[in-house]
């Protein structure tokens, strides 16, 4: 049977374009990661500690937003088309959102990278979180806004495809992959409202000088209103692959379709009303609201724990289909030579470890000890940096041949690559967690301070630095291998059936689940109510303290005469 590119050549072209942007961002972002790992551990320095923050901003934005989300929009387009078994309703709309998201990403990247070139009067080293009143160049905020609107249009495109399908299939259950895409996008619409309001209403006018002041706690809270759900936005494509692709690679099929739906509904309900857990140590937010965010966060463990069960059960089923026996010995029957399988399986294992350190972060009171220390990047390099990124890279070894009709250039290199990522992350992330416990901060360019030393509880701080530098180097080399393997695959000759792209039906199918699970309106309404409960009062109190536009002037990380002139022009237009 023909593969995806033969059946849907137009859609395959868009997905390929998405992955191209995604992997380009990955390559640049990974290089920045290497620069950071060597700079802040003092092993090799060729930039100034001031430029470190430009590199750090680039690393965060290019990897956490551009790499992950472009992979997501590509994967989701593939998933909708192949699970609804029909092309996109209007491919021009599909290209339009691709164009808008890409332009936005390029704008933000230009604003950041210009910071490295002194002759260009532009910079945006405000880090991934862009907390006001540190002020970036307007192009950075405009790029972010365009990027987000682009993802909204992508979601609209998938909903239109679903509506067309529903017209022809009024009584069928939503195909699982499309169900996952739609619930994820509903969560995304709900959660990006916060960052969109922050950027469009407050930060863009303020960066042009149209309003003088900002309310830092308000924009920070609106950021985290989006900043935690975005974590699940990264994670959902990985979940989609763990549920629908990994069991097949293991030699079996998904264990339970209904439970997979329950998990995605839980993410829709609980992802957004938790952002305040990033603000446990913020003044101006009452303890009660922090407690609500904490309980919601803890209940958000449930879908991940359910996923651990279902995915492991599905993989075990696959192993037994392949002749695996015993309580533990079945693990040996799995296809460990397949980089797509091994990469995803290792990613899942690291996600379990990241889940445990995440429980510490979520614990309102023990959070005091690790807040803003290296523990935090240690944690999210396990979740987004491994569970998500490694699943995306490993999944590409299976996905890309369907989009190109060409075989993967080298499976052994792929295998080396995913194992190298795993090993690199074991070194880097465990050292970061331990460094955080002794109080070493995150987001700083220097390994030590003038007037005090850090005391490692076990081992030495020097050993922790060495592990971070070694791990960072292995991770960078792993990305180099990945990018070359994909590039070389792209110039292979097309072959018949480059990969087995069929997905078997689940053991327990959708028919066994209650129909109410497919009632997206109901779940969206409940999600909105939960958000209103969690956010109305704290936001009202923050606005009550300092007003919508606050009383804190901007502190530019960029200086420009041109932008002031542009601001004057805009003021005239508005007046």
119/451 with CB nearer other proteins: 451
List 67, 141, 232, 280, catalytic entry: 232
User: Footprint of other proteins on residues 13-52 (CB under 8 A)?
Assistant: 49-50, 52
For residue 135, the surrounding DSSP H or E stretch is: strand 134-135
CB 253 within 8 A of CB 247: yes
Q: Which of 210, 212, 512, 568 binds other proteins (CB under 8 A)?
A: 512
371 is catalytic: no
Q: Which CB sits closer to other proteins, 381 or 442? A: 442
Confirm or reject binding of residue 355 to other proteins (CB under 8 A): no
Contacts of 292 by beta carbon, 8 Å cutoff, 6+ apart: 273, 276, 533, 534
Active-site option among 253, 381, 433, 434: 381
Among 9, 85, 309, 525, binds other proteins (CB under 8 A): 309
How far apart are CB 261 and other proteins at their closest, in Å?
9
Q: What residues between 236 and 275 interact with other proteins by CB under 8 A?
A: 255-256, 258-259
Parallel/antiparallel/unpaired status of strands 552-553 and 134-135: unpaired
| Alpha carbon distance 17, 74 (integer Å) | 8
Footprint on residues 194-233 left by other proteins (CB under 8 A): 215-217, 220
CB of 253 to other proteins, least distance (A): 15
Compose the 86-125 pattern: x for residues touching other proteins by CB under 8 A, - for all others.
Answer: ---------------------------------------x
Site membership for other proteins, residue 552 (CB under 8 A): yes
Identify the helix (H) or strand (E) that includes residue 214.
Answer: strand 213-214
- The span from the CA of 538 to the CA of 11, in Å, is 44
Q: What are phi and psi of 3, to 5 degrees?
A: -90, 180
Residue 282 phi/psi, 5-degree rounding, is -85, 135
d(CA 75, CA 61): 20
What is the spatial distance between Cα 507 and Cα 202, in angstroms, rounded to a whole number?
A: 50
Q: Select from 10-18, 61-69, 73-81, 546-554 the region that touches other proteins (CB under 8 A).
A: 546-554
Binding-site size for other proteins (CB under 8 A) equals 79
How far apart CA 256 and CA 264 sit, in angstroms, is: 13
User: In whole angstroms, what is the distance from residue 421 CA to residue 142 CA?
Assistant: 34
What CA dihedral angle connects 91, 93, 99 and 102, to 10 degrees?
-100
- In the region spanning residues 278 to 307, those forming contacts with other proteins, defined by CB under 8 A, are 279-287, 290-291, 294-295, 298-299, 301-302, 305-306
Task: Scan residues 422-451 and list those touching other proteins (CB under 8 A).
Answer: 438-439, 441-446, 449-451
Looking at residues 373 to 402 of the shown chain, list those that interact with other proteins (rule: CB under 8 A). Answer: 373
Sign of the CA dihedral with 254 first, then 308, 418, and 63 last: positive
Task: Read off the DSSP letter of residue 213.
Answer: E
**Residue 228 bears catalytic tag:** yes
State which residue, 209 or 363, has the beta carbon closest to other proteins. Answer: 363
Show the binding pattern over residues 458-497: x = contacts other proteins (CB under 8 A), - = does not: ----------------------------------------
């Amino acid at each position: 049977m023909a593969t995806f590119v033969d059946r849907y050549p137009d859609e395959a072209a868009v997905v390929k374009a998405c992955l191209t942007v995604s992997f380009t961002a990955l390559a640049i972002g990974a290089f920045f990661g290497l620069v950071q790992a060597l700079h802040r551990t003092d092993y090799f320095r060729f930039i100034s500690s001031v430029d470190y923050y430009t590199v750090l901003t680039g690393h965060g934005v290019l990897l956490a937003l551009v790499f992950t989300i472009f992979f997501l929009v590509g994967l989701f387009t593939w998933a909708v088309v192949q699970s609804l078994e029909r092309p996109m309703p209007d491919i021009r709309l599909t290209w339009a959102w691709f164009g808008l998201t890409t332009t936005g990403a390029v704008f933000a990247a230009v604003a950041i990278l210009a910071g490295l070139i002194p002759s260009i009067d532009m910079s945006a080293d405000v880090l991934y979180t862009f907390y006001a009143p540190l002020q970036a160049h307007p192009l950075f905020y405009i790029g972010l806004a365009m990027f987000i609107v682009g993802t909204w249009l992508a979601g609209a495109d998938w909903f239109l495809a679903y509506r067309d399908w529903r017209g022809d299939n009024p009584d069928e259950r939503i195909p699982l992959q499309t169900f996952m895409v739609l619930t994820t996008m509903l969560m995304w619409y709900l959660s990006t409202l916060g960052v969109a309001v922050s950027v469009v209403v407050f930060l863009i006018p303020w960066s042009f000088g149209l309003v003088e002041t900002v309310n830092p706690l308000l924009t920070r809270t609106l950021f985290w209103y989006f900043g935690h759900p975005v974590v699940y936005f990264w994670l959902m494509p990985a979940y989609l692959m763990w549920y629908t692709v990994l069991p097949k690679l293991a030699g079996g099929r998904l264990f339970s379709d209904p439970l997979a739906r329950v998990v995605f509904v839980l993410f829709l309900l609980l992802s957004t009303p938790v952002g305040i857990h990033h603000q446990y140590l913020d003044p101006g937010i009452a303890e009660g609201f922090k407690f609500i965010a904490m309980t919601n966060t803890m209940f958000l463990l449930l879908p991940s724990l359910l996923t651990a069960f279902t995915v492991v059960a599905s993989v075990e089923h696959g192993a037994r289909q392949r002749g695996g026996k015993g309580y533990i010995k079945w693990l040996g029957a799995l296809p460990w030579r397949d980089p797509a399988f091994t990469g995803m399986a290792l990613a899942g294992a690291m996600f379990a470890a990241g889940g445990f350190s995440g429980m510490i972060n979520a614990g309102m009171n023990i959070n005091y000890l690790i807040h803003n220390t290296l523990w935090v990047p240690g944690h999210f390099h396990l979740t987004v940096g491994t569970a998500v990124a490694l699943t995306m890279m490993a999944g590409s070894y299976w996905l890309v041949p369907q989009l190109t009709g060409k075989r993967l250039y080298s499976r052994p290199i792929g295998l080396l690559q995913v194992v190298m990522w795993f090993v690199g992350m074991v070194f880097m992330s465990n050292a970061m967690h331990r460094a955080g416990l002794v109080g070493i901060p995150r987001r700083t360019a220097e390994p030590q301070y003038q007037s005090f030393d850090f005391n490692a509880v076990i081992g030495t701080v020097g050993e922790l630095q060495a592990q971070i530098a070694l791990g960072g180097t292995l991770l960078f080399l792993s990305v180099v291998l990945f990018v070359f393997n994909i590039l070389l695959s792209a110039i292979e000759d097309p072959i018949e059936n480059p990969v087995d792209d069929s997905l078997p039906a689940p053991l327990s199918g959708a028919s066994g689940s209650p129909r109410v699970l497919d009632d997206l309106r109901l779940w969206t309404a409940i999600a909105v109510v939960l958000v209103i409960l969690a956010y109305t009062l704290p936001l009202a109190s923050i606005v009550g303290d300092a007003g919508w536009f606050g009383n804190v002037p901007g502190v530019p990380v960029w200086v420009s005469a041109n932008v002031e002139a542009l601001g004057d022009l805009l003021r005239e237009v508005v007046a």
